[in-house]
């Protein structure tokens, strides 16, 4: 409603006063958390929020989570959510940052619109809607940034759990532990290919002893990995195929005719050695000679 | 979600296809995509740009840089006023070609993207949109 | 007009693709290579794509075509130097490079070609 945003904008025109009162309020309340943030930073955050809020209100556009006029405010709040999360604020404390602006604005709106109760009611409603929506969005940003952290940790975990080992010159081993979903497969492929480039390996043994189930999807992911390695000039041997897995593979009709498979890593290693024209021999036992 | 930047490039010549790849790469790099994600986006863009040129009789692509809270993405929308695709489902089926390689390009681009949408009717041209998120 | 240079190394031809190829250039390369295989009586073709950051279905088909035409002329084709990101993308794209052997780099590729030619009994 254009008239409502005009009223709100008029209130914010006394920017310095509103800012001062609002900052005082936050510093005095428990959610100000001066133990986590310097008051100069709080002041700066509050000042910027008011500036951006004024600019958005001036456009007269409805506050929504997608309109470009409100993108400045949204981006700013996303940043605030994130930095406060890192500082240790709880999501409600961050939401209170926005909601606490209601009080200084209520007071001024009342003074300005006392004589026109209908307009006062409209503006009050508009203010509540706007600040509530923005406060809720800070909680959503908070959650999203938490999800980002979890996601990042998952990635690191994925990378840690897919080590590529150089068993012998030109022979890599990739022991897979756990399920092989499409996200994991991407990480596996990248690790393996980078290792091929780094070591110049021509053979990669992918051991699936630690993969609990092999269904059509997992089989597809394995075949993709093999295909990618082949494009880089390396052949793959899949080892660690348990009897149940062998049965499942046949039942599913997965075509492994293009891929070498072995039951154990040891067998795969022997095969790999043969392919690279190497072998392991035992040293001849030396018979002890006694000197007489 | 906001569209931080939008530009439109023509696809009328083979050189334009090269430029589309370059611009897609630039946007992906700017959004902080990993090398693999960049390559997937640029390759999908290449497929669709070629389709637009060869099957759509030329057209254009709009390149949008997206910010969704903390998620960053790039969206490419290819449009032409060509003959259109009579059976989109069939065209999307893996490995299907009309003898001119249209099929692999479409289904390939879909596989390489996080989001994919297509509108096409004979006589009304074609519009394909792909989005890749970081 | 720009052309992709084709080098001869013994009985093999070496092509290094460094530019972002457009269609005319790709078709020109196919023609030139086929002609050179005949005139040089080449036993094999080595295609170095280590500079290519993007290989789409068009380039993929070009490579497969080259391999097929070379095969008809009794020459082997080996592609070397594919970048990891490209390999991952190609696999996702579902492009299989039919009839094309691959190797990590030029050295390995040459070795592979020699082995294949030996196996085929060509002198």
pLDDT tens, position by position, C82-106: 999 999 999 998 887 877 999 999 9
**Given an 8 Å threshold on Cβ–Cβ distance, is C84 in contact with A232?**
yes
For residue B13, give how far its alpha carbon lies from the nearest alpha carbon of chain C (Å). Answer: 10
**Given an 8 Å threshold on Cβ–Cβ distance, is B21 in contact with C20?**
yes
- Name which of A164, A220, A231 to mutate to probe chain C: the one with the most chain C Cβ atoms within 10 A of its Cβ: A231
Provide, as residue numbers in chain C, all residues whose Cβ is less than 8 Å from the Cβ of A227.
Answer: 91, 96
Strand-pair category, C76-80 with C44-48: parallel
**Given an 8 Å threshold on Cβ–Cβ distance, is C94 in contact with B22?**
no
- Is pLDDT at B131 greater than 60 in this prediction? yes
Low-confidence ranges of chain C (pLDDT < 70): 1, 122-123
Cβ-nearest to A190 among C82, C84, C102: C84
CA distances from A10 to A7, A14, A54, A123, C92 (A): 5, 8, 9, 11, 57
Provide, as residue numbers in chain B, all residues whose Cβ is less than 8 Å from the Cβ of C89.
Answer: 36, 39-40, 43, 112
**Given an 8 Å threshold on Cβ–Cβ distance, is C54 in contact with B40?**
no
Model ipTM value? 0.90
For residue A223, give how far its alpha carbon lies from the nearest alpha carbon of chain C (Å). Answer: 10
Mean pLDDT of chain A: 86
**Given an 8 Å threshold on Cβ–Cβ distance, is B38 in contact with C23?**
no
- Is pLDDT at B20 greater than 90 in this prediction? yes
C94 touches chain A (CB under 8 A): no
Contact C107, C47 (CB under 8 A): no
CA distances from B9 to A96, B78, C19 (A): 45, 10, 21
pTM comes to 0.72
Strand-pair category, A171-177 with A165-168: antiparallel
Chain B residues 14-73 within an 8 A CB cutoff of chain C: 14-15, 17-18, 21-22, 25, 35-36, 38-40, 42-43, 46-47, 50
A193 touches chain C (CB under 8 A): yes
pLDDT tens, position by position, A110-159: 888 888 888 888 888 888 888 999 999 999 888 888 888 888 888 777 77
Cβ-nearest to A66 among B1, B70, B71: B1
pLDDT tens, position by position, A84-106: 888 888 888 899 999 999 999 88
CA distances from A178 to A155, B10, C123 (A): 14, 47, 51
C56 touches chain B (CB under 8 A): yes
For residues A122 and A114, what is the distance between their CA atoms, to the nearest angstrom? 12
| End-to-end CA, chain C | 36
Provide, as residue numbers in chain B, all residues whose Cβ is less than 8 Å from the Cβ of A145.
Answer: 70
Among all residues of chain A, which has the CA nearest to that of B1? Answer: A66
pLDDT tens, position by position, B49-103: 999 998 889 999 999 999 987 789 999 999 999 988 888 888 787 655 544 455 5
Neighbours of B70 (CB within 10 A): 15
pLDDT at A157: 79
For residues A44 and A80, what is the distance between their CA atoms, to the nearest angstrom? 11
Please, what is the angle between helix C57-72 and helix B35-54, to 10°?
A: 80
* Predicted confidence band of residue A60 (pLDDT cuts 50, 70, 90): confident
- Name which of C87, C90, C92, C99 to mutate to probe chain A: the one with the most chain A Cβ atoms within 10 A of its Cβ: C87
Cβ-nearest to B39 among C24, C86, C95: C86
For residues B104 and B93, what is the distance between their CA atoms, to the nearest angstrom? 8
Cβ-nearest to A78 among B3, B36, B70: B70
- Is pLDDT at A1 greater than 50 in this prediction? no
pLDDT at A3: 62
Measured over the CA atoms of residue A244, residue A248, residue A251 and residue A253, the dihedral's sign is negative
Neighbours of C13 (CB within 10 A): 23
Contact C15, C6 (CB under 8 A): yes
Contact B120, B106 (CB under 8 A): no
**Given an 8 Å threshold on Cβ–Cβ distance, is B21 in contact with C95?**
no
C93 touches chain A (CB under 8 A): no
Q: How many CB pairs under 8 A join A and B?
A: 21
B29 touches chain A (CB under 8 A): no
Cβ-nearest to B70 among A66, A71, A148: A148
Instruction: Return the exposure string of A186-216: e unless at least 16 CB atoms fall within 10 Å of the residue's CB, then b.
Output: bbbbbbbbebbbebebbbbbbbbeebeebee
C91 touches chain B (CB under 8 A): no
- Is pLDDT at B40 greater than 70 in this prediction? yes
- Is pLDDT at A249 greater than 90 in this prediction? no
* Predicted confidence band of residue A288 (pLDDT cuts 50, 70, 90): low
């Amino acid at each position: 409603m254009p008239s409502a945003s005009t009223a709100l904008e008029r209130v914010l025109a006394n920017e310095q006063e509103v800012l001062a009162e609002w900052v005082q309020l936050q510093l005095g309340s428990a959610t100000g958390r001066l133990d986590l943030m310097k008051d100069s930073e709080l002041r700066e955050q509050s000042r910027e929020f008011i500036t951006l809020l004024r600019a958005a209100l001036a456009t007269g556009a409805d506050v929504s989570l997608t309109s470009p006029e409100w993108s400045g405010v949204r981006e700013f709040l996303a940043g605030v959510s994130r930095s406060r999360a890192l500082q240790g604020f709880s999501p409600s404390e961050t939401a209170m940052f926005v909601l606490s602006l209601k009080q200084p604005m209520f007071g001024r709106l009342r003074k300005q619109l006392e004589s026109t109760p209908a307009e006062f009611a409209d503006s009050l409603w508009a203010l509540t809607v706007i600040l509530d929506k923005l406060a809720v969005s800070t909680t959503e940003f908070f959650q999203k940034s938490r999800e980002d952290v979890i996601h990042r940790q998952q990635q690191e975990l994925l990378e840690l759990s897919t080590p590529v080992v150089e068993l012998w010159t030109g022979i890599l081993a990739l022991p897979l532990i756990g399920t092989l979903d499409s996200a994991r497969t991407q990480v596996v492929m990248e690790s393996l290919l980078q290792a091929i480039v780094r070591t110049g390996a021509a053979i990669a043994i992918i051991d699936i002893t630690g993969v609990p189930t092999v269904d059509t999807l997992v089989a597809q992911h394995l075949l993709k990995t093999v295909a990618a390695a082949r494009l880089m000039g390396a052949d793959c041997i899949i080892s660690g195929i348990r009897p149940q897995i062998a049965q499942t593979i046949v039942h599913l009709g997965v075509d492994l005719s293009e891929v070498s498979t072995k039951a154990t890593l040891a067998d795969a290693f022997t095969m790999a050695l043969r392919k690279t024209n190497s072998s392991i021999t035992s040293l001849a036992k030396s018979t002890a000679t006694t000197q007489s | 979600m906001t569209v931080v930047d939008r530009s439109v490039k023509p696809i009328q010549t083979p050189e334009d296809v090269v430029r589309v790849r370059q611009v897609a790469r630039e946007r992906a790099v700017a959004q902080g995509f990993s090398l693999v994600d960049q390559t997937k986006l640029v390759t999908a863009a290449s497929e669709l740009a070629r389709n637009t040129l060869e099957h759509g009789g030329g057209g254009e692509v709009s390149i949008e840089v997206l910010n969704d809270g903390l998620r960053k993405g790039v969206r490419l929308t290819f449009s032409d006023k060509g003959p259109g695709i009579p059976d989109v489902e069939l065209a999307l089926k893996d490995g299907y070609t009309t003898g001119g390689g249209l099929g692999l390009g479409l289904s390939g681009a879909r596989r390489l993207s996080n989001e994919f949408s297509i509108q096409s009717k004979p006589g009304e041209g074609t519009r394909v949109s792909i989005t890749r998120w970081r | 007009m720009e052309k992709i240079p084709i080098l001869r190394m013994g009985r093999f031809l070496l092509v290094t693709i460094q530019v972002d190829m457009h269609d005319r250039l790709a078709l020109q390369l196919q023609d030139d290579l086929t002609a050179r295989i005949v005139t040089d009586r080449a036993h094999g073709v080595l295609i170095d794509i280590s500079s290519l950051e993007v290989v789409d279905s068009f380039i993929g088909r070009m490579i497969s075509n080259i391999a097929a035409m070379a095969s008809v002329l009794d020459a082997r084709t080996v592609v070397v130097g594919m970048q990891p990101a490209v390999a991952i993308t190609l696999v996702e794209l579902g492009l299989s490079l039919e009839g094309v052997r691959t190797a990590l780099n030029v050295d390995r590729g040459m070795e592979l070609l020699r082995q294949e030619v030996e196996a085929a009994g060509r002198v």
